Amino acid sequence: MSEKLIEVVDDAGIVRLTINRPKALNALNSAVIGELERVLVELEGRDDLRAVLITGAGEKAFVAGADIAEMRDKTPEQARDFARQALATFKRLETLPVPTVALVNGFCLGGGCELALACDWAVASDNAVFGQPEVQLGVIPGFGGTQRLPRRVGPAMALDLCTTGRKIDAAEALRIGLVNGVMAQGELEAHAEELTKQLGGNGPQAMRAAKQAIHDGMDQDLDSALALENALFAFCFAGEEQTEGMNAFVEKRKPNF
């Protein structure tokens, strides 16, 4: 039987997804994107979902981009449809109600960088290489890069990266705010386990509320966004989670969420 294109490992609601096409540096073809979409639709329906971590198989690449060989002969209509499928899939990832983290373990180029940008944040191994090199292939980013990259790193840096196509190392990615942290490649797994423990120990509804407040609030003026926070803060007091969390503090024990 063939290997799964997306490996799914579930640790009590903290789900690790691994793009599994290492021989092609995990390049995103329609089959990988279709499988990612299928997995995300399943995750959307889960009330017990707490967080999603996403990485690439092997030690060389997170994702080296959209599959160039597959894209090469596309007509404009086919290209538009391919990009629409990926845009819709990345939107599903972005709007999952739980924290999502890209664990970038190597090349993170083109569609790979766009995949990382659709996550809430990214951490990288020190051998990671980032870039939007599409102009070197005669196209522009098609999976959201021209829109999510400037929102993450600012328009000037996004224009630099999208028009020069230059590649940057993990240290520069950290400096410009493309990633939240950089570590030795051997430490990435330990970091993933630490994240799993940290996120697994927090109130799941509270994490969802924090994500909703930040995501939805960013699209609103400050006063409306503060009102949104206020409503979500009050909502947290309507469930058992707040009672357990605060009782645990007072009783000097760990909460059991």
Binders in 50-79 for ligand DAK, by CB under 6 A: 64-69, 79
Does 137 contact ligand DAK by CB under 6 A?
A: yes
Q: Does 120 bind ligand DAK (CB under 6 A)?
A: no
Q: What is the C-alpha to C-alpha distance for residues 22 and 60, in angstroms, rounded to an integer?
A: 8
Residue 138 Cβ, how far from ligand DAK at the closest point, in Å?
10
Quick check: is 114 catalytic? yes
Single-letter amino acid, residue 2: S
Q: DSSP strand E in 12-66: where?
A: 14-19, 51-56, 61-63
144 binds ligand DAK (CB under 6 A): no
- Cβ 132 vs Cβ 166: under 8 Å: no
- Smallest separation, CB 150 to ligand DAK (Å): 17
Amino acid at 114: E
User: Which residue in the set 49, 93, 109, 124 belongs to the binding site for ligand DAK (CB under 6 A)?
Assistant: 109
SS3 assignment, position 35: helix
Give the pairing of strands 168-169 and 121-125.
Answer: unpaired
Report the C-alpha gap between 32 and 19 in whole angstroms. 8
Q: Six-digit token pair at 134?
A: 């599409």
Q: Is 50 within 8 Å of 13 (Cβ atoms)?
A: yes
CB of 19 to ligand DAK, least distance (A): 12
Catalytic residue among 7, 37, 44, 114: 114
**Count of residues that interact with ligand DAK, criterion CB under 6 A:** 23
Least Å distance between CB 35 and ligand DAK? 17
Region binding ligand DAK by CB under 6 A among candidate stretches 30-38, 105-113, 120-128, 236-244: 105-113
Burial of 251 (0-12, 13-18, 19+ CB in 10 A): exposed
Q: Does 183 bind ligand DAK (CB under 6 A)?
A: no
Query: Could you confirm whether 3 is annotated as catalytic?
Result: no
Which residues are marked as active site?
Answer: 114, 134
Catalog residues that contact ligand DAK under the rule CB under 6 A.
24-25, 27, 64-69, 79, 82-83, 107, 109-111, 133-134, 137, 139, 141-143
